[in-house]
Amino acid sequence: DQQVKQNSPSLSVQEGRISILNCDYTNSMFDYFLWYKKYPAEGPTFLISISSIKDKNEDGRFTVFLNKSAKHLSLHIVPSQPGDSAVYFCAASGVYSGGGADGLTFGKGTHLIIQP
Amino acid sequence: GAGVSQSPSNKVTEKGKDVELRCDPISGHTALYWYRQSLGQGLEFLIYFQGNSAPDKSGLPSDRFSAERTGGSVSTLTIQRTQQEDSAVYLCASSLSYSPNQPQHFGDGTRLSIL
């Protein structure tokens, strides 16, 4: 059973517009959430994170929103740039994240394509 | 470099052979993690080390998989009697300390192909 779900395998956005990537989770024990960006043949690169005690965290063009009651988080990228084209993974951790106390549980990713 | 280093970057081997994958974490990072990504799937957590100790091995897919870490630095993931379903990208990550709130930084992975 997938505990972290990214329901959109791909998303196409025009350059300069806002990209919104969504993620849902089922395990209420998760208390820390992260977004990673991955280019082909490279490892995931950490982008931004948010603790469950917050509902928003901003870093430059990237903002992560957390809605705990809905078990939903989203990553906003604005304005979107061509270099943002990549696969974005949502990940979660907590004491009972499964497979060990500190192993991240990942979604399957969303392929973001920025159109010029 | 300053990042997590993994070797080899690619490995092709015949079914039934043993393979050893290596991870060199970021200097000073005490926690180290192994994941794998099969085709079309998300990253699957395998095992973590706090220092040289791996408290929980339940994430390893089978008893053919083992991992060790010596000197609190380099780690090796060994797969014995490889099977075709072991084909995947194996990723290593490290973090500054043992804490769920510390971001994990990943290497570029080892792409393992079992013929």
Q: How far is CA A9 from the centre of its chain?
A: 13
Q: How confident is the model at residue A95 (pLDDT cuts 50, 70, 90)?
A: low
Q: Tell me the average pLDDT across B1-26.
A: 94
Give, in words, the CATH class of A4-115.
Answer: mainly beta
CB-CB under 8 Å, A109 with B104: no
Q: How confident is the model at residue B59 (pLDDT cuts 50, 70, 90)?
A: confident
Q: How confident is the model at residue B98 (pLDDT cuts 50, 70, 90)?
A: confident
The total number of structural domains in chain B stands at: 1
- A111 sits in which H/E element: strand A110-115
Domain segments of chain A: what residues?
A: 4-115
Nearest residue in A to B54, CA atom: A100
CATH number, domain at B45? 2.60.40.10
Find tokens 């998303």 and name the residue: A11
Cβ-based interface (< 8 Å): residues of B facing A: 4, 31, 33, 35, 40-48, 55-56, 58-59, 91, 93, 98-101, 103-109
Domain of residue B95, residue span: 5-114
Minimum distance, in Å, between the CA of residue A19 and any CA atom of chain B: 21
* CB < 8 Å to B41, chain A: 108
CB-CB under 8 Å, A98 with B45: yes
CB A63 within 8 A of CB A56: yes
Q: How confident is the model at residue A51 (pLDDT cuts 50, 70, 90)?
A: very high
* CB < 8 Å to A109, chain B: 42
DSSP string of B2-62? -S-EEE-SEEEE-TT--EEEEEEPPTT--EEEEEEE-TT--EEEEEEEETTB----TTSSS
